[in-house]
């Protein structure tokens, strides 16, 4: 244990209760959303070998908001999520969680502990484990090696997992190995794992890709039920799905915001029509 970096060791020992308060001495401050926004991106630029994947991107997400992000392939949607979750460092610009937490200063695991959950574009679950074990692993709680060696599942945790299984409609599959689930079920399991972390902000990259219509509809219901309790940012191509869930839509193109407003508004926007049809 002595080899571990003191900074993160503090996070691990403090345990994690789903609120930012345990990290108060570590981060700039607690999650401060007094100004009504939970996430700010300001003038964010990312380039890969000279290619500007994000080009002076400005965006903010309100507390409890469900925001949809649309845009053609290569617009930079996934890259934006990489920047928020610490996978990619921006070349310039600011990324703030609440008023005070500068996300560019943290690593992936720390950002997840701060309360940002992420679903990947390609569904990613732990295939060798059962559905139940996947959720158990994601459950909010201490993340240290030591804790994992002593961990016992409490009754309370078991109840939480049962509730999550119900929510993502996987009660019947609880003891199945996750690798054997259908594509749509894996997507749901991954969403369930995000919820198990009890994050303040959820980032969902194409959550209904590869789902049947019925599954898509159920997913829309699920996301709508989360609105208000969590803030959500959903990247999606499926317009019917976006129409079902979105109140506010942001259109990304060539690494920056092209338009923002209701779905009807952005669909009527000349420039939006151009980027979608012009390709």
Partner 1 sequence: MQSELMSQPYSMRLWAWLGPQLGPLLLAALLLLGVALPLAHALLPADHPWFISAYTLTLAGKILCYAVVALALDLVWGYTGLLSLGHGLFFALGGYGMGMYLMRQGDAELPAFMTFLDWQTLPWFWWGSEHFLWALVLIVMVPALVAGIFGWLAFRSRIKGVYFSIITQALTFAAMLLFFRNETGFGGNNGFTDFKTLLGFGIAEPATRAVLFLLSLALLVLAWLGARWLVNSPFGRILTAVRDAESRLMFCGYSPLYFKLTIWVLSAVLCALAGALYVPQVGIINPSEMSPANSIEMVIWVALGGRGTLIGPMLGAGLVNGAKSWFTVAFPEYWLFFLGFVFIAATLFLPHGVVGWWRRLWRKSA
Ligand X SMILES: Nc1ncnc2c1ncn2[C@@H]1O[C@H](COP(=O)(O)OP(=O)(O)O)[C@@H](O)[C@H]1O
Nearer to ligand X, 77 or 200 (CB): 77
78 near Mg ion (CB under 5 A): yes
Give the residue, chosen from 90, 98, 117, 192, that forms a contact with partner 1 under the rule CB under 8 A: 117
Joined tokens for residue 279: 């390709």
Range 9-16 contact pairs with CB under 8 angstroms and sequence separation of 24 or more: 9/144, 11/110, 11/113, 11/143, 12/142, 12/143, 12/144, 12/146, 12/147, 13/142, 13/144, 15/141, 15/142, 15/147, 16/113, 16/140, 16/141, 16/142, 16/143
Q: Which stretch binds ligand X (CB under 6 A): 14-22, 77-85, 161-169, 219-227?
A: 77-85
How many residues bind ligand X (CB under 6 A)? The answer is 10
Yes or no: say if 98 and 27 are a contact pair by the CB < 8 Å rule: no
What is the C-alpha to C-alpha distance for residues 116 and 201, in angstroms, rounded to an integer?
5
Assess 125 for contact with partner 1 (CB under 8 A). Answer: yes
52 or 143: whose CB is closer to Mg ion?
A: 52
**Binding of partner 1 by 118 (CB under 8 A):** yes
Q: Which of residues 32-61 bind ligand X (CB under 6 A)?
A: 48, 53
Helices and strands per DSSP (H, E), number in the chain? 11, 10
Whole-angstrom distance, CA of residue 116 vs CA of residue 86:
10
Site size toward partner 1, by CB under 8 A: 34
Which residues have C-beta within 8 Å of that of residue 9, sequence separation ≥ 6? 1, 144
Buried b (16+ CB within 10 A) or exposed e, 2-24: eeeeeebeebbebebeeebebbe
Residue 148 interacts with partner 1 (CB under 8 A): yes or no? yes
258 binds ligand X (CB under 6 A): no
Q: Which is nearer to partner 1, 197 or 256 (CB)?
A: 197
Least distance CB 197 / ligand X (angstroms) = 23
Q: What angle do CA 227, 230, 232 make, to 5 degrees?
A: 75
Q: Which does 3 bind (CB under 5 to 8 A by kind): Mg ion, partner 1, ligand X, none?
A: partner 1
With contacts defined by CB under 6 A, name the span among 35-43, 71-79, 105-113, 208-216 that binds ligand X: 71-79
Which residues 216-275 are close enough to bind partner 1 by CB under 8 A? none
Q: Which residues bind partner 1 (CB under 8 A)?
A: 3-4, 8, 12, 16, 85, 87, 107-109, 112-113, 117-118, 120, 124-129, 133, 136-138, 143-145, 148-149, 151, 190, 193, 197
Q: Which residues of this protein are in contact with ligand X, per CB under 6 A?
A: 48, 53, 71, 73-79
Interface ranges with Mg ion (CB under 5 A): 78, 121
């Amino acid at each position: 244990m002595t080899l571990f970096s003191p900074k993160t060791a503090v996070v691990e020992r403090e345990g994690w209760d789903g609120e930012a308060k345990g990290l108060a001495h570590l981060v700039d401050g607690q999650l401060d959303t007094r100004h009504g926004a939970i996430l700010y991106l300001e003038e964010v630029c990312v380039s890969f070998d000279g290619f500007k994947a994000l080009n002076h991107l400005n965006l903010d997400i309100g507390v409890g908001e469900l925001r949809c992000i649309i845009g053609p392939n290569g617009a930079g949607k996934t890259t934006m999520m990489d920047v928020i979750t610490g996978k990619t460092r921006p070349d310039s610009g600011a990324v703030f969680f609440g008023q005070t937490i500068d996300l560019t200063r943290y690593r992936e695991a720390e950002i997840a502990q701060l309360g940002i959950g992420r679903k990947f574009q390609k569904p990613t679950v732990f295939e060798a484990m059962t559905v139940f074990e996947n959720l158990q692993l994601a459950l909010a709680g201490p993340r240290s090696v030591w804790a994992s060696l002593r961990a016992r599942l409490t009754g309370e945790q078991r109840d939480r997992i049962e509730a999550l299984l119900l929510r993502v409609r996987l009660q019947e599959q609880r003891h199945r190995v996750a690798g054997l689930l259908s594509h749509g079920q894996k997507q749901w399991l991954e969403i369930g794992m995000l919820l198990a972390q009890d994050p303040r902000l959820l980032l969902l990259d194409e959550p209904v890709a590869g789902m049947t219509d019925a599954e898509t509809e159920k997913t829309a219901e699920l996301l709508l039920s989360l609105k208000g309790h969590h803030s959500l940012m959903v990247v999606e191509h499926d317009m019917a799905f976006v129409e079902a869930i979105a109140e506010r839509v942001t259109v990304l193109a060539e690494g920056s915001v092209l338009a923002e407003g209701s779905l009807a508004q952005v669909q009527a926007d000349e420039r939006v029509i151009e980027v979608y049809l012009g390709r």
